[in-house]
Amino acid sequence: MSLDSVLSRIDSDLPAATERLLELLRIPSISTDPAYKKDCQTAADWLVADLESLGVSATKRPTPGHPMVVGHVDGPDGKDVPHLLFYGHYDVQPVDPLNLWDRDPFDPEVQDTPSGKVIRGRGAADDKGQLMTFVEACRAWKAEHGSLPCKITFFLEGEEESGSPSLVPFMKENAEELKCDLALICDTGMFNPTTPAIVTMLRGLLGEELTITGPEKDLHSGMYGGISRNPIRVLSKVIANLHDEDGRITVPGFYDGVPELDPEVKAQWDNLDFSDEGFLGEVGLSVPAGEKGRSGLEQIWSRPTCEVNGIWGGYTGEGFKTVLPSKAHAKISFRLVFQQDPLKIRESFRAYVQSMLPEDCKVEFHGHGASAAGIMETSAPSFEQARLALSDEWPNAAAYVGCGGSIPIAGHFKRILDMDAMLIGFGNDDDQIHSPNEKYDLNAFHKGMRSWARVLDALTRG
């Protein structure tokens, strides 16, 4: 099958593809607000109809929350081709605060900006525009060749922006139907506007809340100051001792399962156009504060963290109150990498805190989730095939990159379906996802379609 004709079809069909995306963006499919339940149904129906127009056998599947859209289509007859699963989500974030939008969030339009044309509207980049890059690439394949290049299962969710409560049960109940050779996820971004990326590392997350109690009630600091134990001082010492002078985390066994970065991947990262000072300068900082001897990208993507997200105790209202508090509280999160075990780290962290408590103090813990990191096995031939295909479309070669955040769906595919996932997206850092005036660069939409066509061609040819 000719790739060139598919790319030409994508170019000529860009206005129609853009209008289809605008139509989908007009549906206010806010999953977290019950007032928009009917709109989520409408968005699912729209996608079913659109997939059916490509010859996909698509259905809307009920869940306790918003529906899933599942579709299947065969590839060319008689050819030994892979079976791919494509995942995206059709739900969007709420639009508050509405007064900060320059126009109705669900009245999208193509706008001219100093950096080029953008598609402006809620969901443009997260994730309707991204989702439609893949669908439009498939549309062009079907128009040019009468079939898609391989067998594809479409799996589109309606609750990603509200925690995906129905996702895991649905995947477990339909595991046999959903299992494929490889999952494709389009909910990430470019490294920069001219450098595409395949995310191969996702950090896990462990959340801990602790309360240290000293005296049985708040005390007068004049009567009890000095002689009594102050739990804020105790908590402060615990927190201060969680890192050494080089920025390493001191919890025993914390670095078990954290190898050194693969030299080839590190070389790719070192060649990326990234400045620690420039990155930090955007938020009013200038000096990296993580582990010494590690590059900025290593600190963000492949090294674990321990951060205090909140701390409180005593009197914090207006004025001044000379009180010694009975309790002191903190919320602490750990971003995890590679093979770190979140449950073992939770156990070790709690034991470490207990070991630092003086007499007359006790501690209570409350866990806030525990998920392991996700690592994609880039030695599989499909990853390098996709990376080279992306490199052919963009000015700069594609890179394997990490992601400082967590994308649970990739881990679900591995754990539930024993299936690797390839995360390829075309968003940019300034797309303002989750914020007012969200946008998606028209160039990213256009070249995203072309990119997926190239990736499908590469994965099919092998």
The tens-digit pLDDT sequence of the chain (462 residues) is 689 999 999 999 999 999 999 999 999 999 999 999 999 999 999 999 999 999 999 999 999 999 999 999 998 887 889 999 999 999 999 999 999 999 999 999 999 999 999 999 999 999 999 999 999 999 999 999 999 999 999 999 999 999 899 999 999 999 999 999 999 999 999 999 999 999 999 999 999 999 999 999 999 999 999 999 999 999 999 999 999 999 999 999 999 999 999 998 999 999 999 999 999 998 999 999 999 999 999 999 999 999 999 999 999 999 999 999 999 999 999 999 999 999 999 999 999 999 999 999 999 999 998 988 988 888 899 999 999 999 999 999 999 999 887 788 988 999 999 999 999 999 999 999 999 999 999 999 999 999 999 999 999 986
- What stretches of 336-441 show up as alpha helix (H) in DSSP? 342-355, 381-393, 408-417
Helices 381-393 and 442-461: crossing angle in degrees, nearest 10, is 140
Question: Do the beta carbons of residue 203 and residue 334 sit within 8 Å?
Answer: no
What gap in Å lies between CA 401 and CA 269, rounded to an integer? 7
Question: Do the beta carbons of residue 178 and residue 170 sit within 8 Å?
Answer: no
Supply φ then ψ for residue 164, to 5 degrees: 55, 50
Q: Which helix (H) or strand (E) holds 140?
A: helix 128-145
Task: Measure CA 25 to chain center.
Answer: 21
Supply φ then ψ for residue 374, to 5 degrees: -115, 130
148: how many CB neighbours lie within 10 A of its CB?
Answer: 24
Whether omega for the bond prior to residue 34 falls within 30 degrees of 0, making it cis, is: no
Tokens linked to 208:
């801990």
Radius of gyration of the chain from its Cα atoms, rounded to whole angstroms: 25
Q: What is the pTM of this model?
A: 0.87
The amino acid occupying position 287 is V
pLDDT of residue 407: 81
* Positions of CATH 3.30.70.360 in the chain: 204-268+275-280+287-371
Which 3 state secondary structure label does DSSP give 70? strand
Q: State the Cα torsion 277-283-286-292 to the nearest 10°.
A: -80
pLDDT of residue 196: 97
Q: Which CATH architecture has domain 3-202+373-461?
A: 3-Layer(aba) Sandwich (3.40)
What gap in Å lies between CA 132 and CA 143, rounded to an integer? 16
Whether omega for the bond prior to residue 127 falls within 30 degrees of 0, making it cis, is: yes
Question: Do the beta carbons of residue 105 and residue 122 sit within 8 Å?
Answer: yes
Helices 3-12 and 128-145: crossing angle in degrees, nearest 10, is 120
Nearest-5° Cα angle at 385, 384 to 388? 80
Instruction: Find tokens 């193509």 and name the residue.
Output: 110
What gap in Å lies between CA 61 and CA 422, rounded to an integer? 25
Task: Measure CA 330 to chain center.
Answer: 26
* Positions of CATH 3.40.630.10 in the chain: 3-202+373-461
Task: Measure CA 195 to chain center.
Answer: 18
Helices 3-12 and 442-461: crossing angle in degrees, nearest 10, is 160
Contacts of 240 (CB under 8 A, 6+ apart): none
pLDDT of residue 1: 65
> Which CATH number is 204-268+275-280+287-371 given?
3.30.70.360
